[in-house]
Amino acid sequence: DAKTTQPPSMDCAEGRAANLPCNHSTISGNEYVYWYRQIHSQGPQYIIHGLKNNETNEMASLIITEDRKSSTLILPHATLRDTAVYYCIVIFLGNTDKLIFGTGTRLQVFP
């Protein structure tokens, strides 16, 4: 059970912001939201994680709604190399040694 719902695919123009949504309506107070991505033929790559505050790092921003039932991963200026499957994962901090991946969103960045 991935406990998250993501659209199966999205498109984004190169240079534009890519906003990837994730619904996690059954999230509990102690569960974090993690984002990973998998570029074709490579292993998954950690992007960012958060609990309730918005987070930003060199790769992306994570916006979590106040009720925490959904979140959005933002790639501010998408490039062709951002084409990948993006996974949103909800997990207890004490269970992070057992990541469960769902089906993810396939993001296609086009020129």
Partner 1 sequence: DTAVSQTPKYLVTQMGNDKSIKCEQNLGHDTMYWYKQDSKKFLKIMFSYNNKELIINETVPNRFSPKSPDKAHLNLHINSLELGDSAVYFCASSQDSGVYGYTFGSGTRLTVV
- In the complex, which residues of this chain contact partner 1 (CB under 8 A)? 34, 36, 38, 41-46, 49, 85, 87, 93-94, 96-101, 103
Q: Which of 92, 50, 91 is nearest to 72 (CA)?
A: 50
* Residue 21 CB, nearest approach to partner 1 (Å): 20
Instruction: Name the token pair of 97.
Output: 């040694």
* Residue 97 CB, nearest approach to partner 1 (Å): 4
Of 21 and 102, CB closest to partner 1: 102
C-alpha distances (whole Å) from 89 to each of 77, 110, 111 are 23, 26, 29
Instruction: Name the token pair of 76.
Output: 């501010």
Of 3 and 49, CB closest to partner 1: 49
